[in-house]
Each structure stands twice: as C-alpha cells, then as structure tokens.
Amino acid sequence: MKKLTALLAILFLAVTFGVPAGAQTVTAGDIEISNPHARAMVPGAKVGGGYLSITNKGKADDKLVGIISTRAKSSEIHQMSVNNGFMTMRAVADGLVIPAGQTIELKPGGYHVMFTDVAEPFKQGETVKATLTFEKAGQVDVEFAVSGANAMKMDGHSGMSDMSKPQ
Ligand SMILES: [Cu+2]
C-alpha cells in the first residue's frame, strides 16, 4: 500500500509540475519567454500566482520592471523564500534582473507573478492575458495557460486572502 501511495504521489507531482500542452513561447528582442502558466483558483479566491521562464539571449542584462493584466487590479513580481520553515514573500521592488545569457525561472517557491484583486478566479483551460514590461525589450504580451488547481501550498497564495486561518 505504501508503494502505491508513493507512486500516486509521484504521478501527482508529474501532473502538477509538468509542462502544460500548448505552452507558449514568445520572443521580443533578446528576451525569450516560455511556458507562462497559472493555476486555477478556488472560487472566491482573490489572489493567483503566475509562472514562466525568461531567457536573455543578448549580451546585456535586461530587467523585468512590470506586469499588467486586465484580469487583476494589480500584478506584481514577487519573491518567495523560506525562513525558519516559514514562507515569506515580498515584492521585487526595483524589477527583476535577467542577466545576459541566463534564464530566470518564475516558479512556485521562488520568483512568481502575483495577481491580486482578481475579479473572476482563473479557471482550468482558459488563458490569462498579461503584458510584461522589460527595460530594454519593451512590452511583451503573454498568455498564461491555466492548469488545474492543486492542494499543495507551495506557492503560498492559497492562504493569502486570510492569513489568520491556519493552513
Ligand atoms: Cu506572491
């Protein structure tokens, strides 16, 4: 039975963190954005996380300075870290540097896009349009593919709307 449980857990992780079908790749100047995706939000949730990877193929650093989406009243770039077992997150105030020749991953547990005051929770199967602004590459339209929700608390957003409730 234990083996089966472990196997199911592995399958679950594979599904959760697998690349969704039809993942988008967008190029703007030296910047390449791939696999923008988000998780479905539970009904009533106001906060959603967005994930993507950004590659700078140029010889100069660039910087992600902002993101907007019509689906959220405000969208920010956040950094999550774990301190003494507690997850904390804060806005990346001065923009996220994408060093020349490197890829920065925005993924659960690290950097991510945070959509706040979302009027209609993201639903599995839809896409959430957003525009990223880079210092050098300029504005880039992306579509976050929404995959199924999961019970894991890795992105910390599920508890954001009510911090007083124990998880
Ligand atoms: Cu966040």
**Per residue in 46-82, pLDDT tens?**
999 999 999 999 999 999 999 999 999 999 999 998 8
Distance 157 CA to ligand 1 centre (A): 6
Most confident of 2-6, 107-111, 151-155: 107-111
Distance 106 CA to ligand 1 centre (A): 11
Q: Is the Cα dihedral 93, 94, 95, 101 positive or negative?
A: negative
Distance 78 CA to ligand 1 centre (A): 5
Distance 50 CA to ligand 1 centre (A): 9
Measured between alpha carbons, how far is 50 from 25 in angstroms, rounded to an integer? 15
pLDDT of residue 160 exceeding 80: no
111-118/103-106 β-pairing: unpaired
Phi, psi of 8 (to 5 degrees): -60, -40
pTM over 0.95? The answer is no
Distance 58 CA to ligand 1 centre (A): 28
CATH tag, 23-147: 2.60.40.1890
The secondary structure of residue 93, as a DSSP letter, is T
Distance 79 CA to ligand 1 centre (A): 7
Distance 92 CA to ligand 1 centre (A): 10
Distance 112 CA to ligand 1 centre (A): 6
Measured between alpha carbons, how far is 111 from 77 in angstroms, rounded to an integer? 7
- Segments in the chain forming alpha helices (H): 2-17
- Beta-bridge partner residues of 75: 115
- Domains of the chain by residue range: 23-147
* 78-137 confidence digits (pLDDT tens): 999 888 888 899 999 899 999 999 999 999 989 999 999 999 999 999 999 999 999 999
Measured between alpha carbons, how far is 104 from 57 in angstroms, rounded to an integer? 12
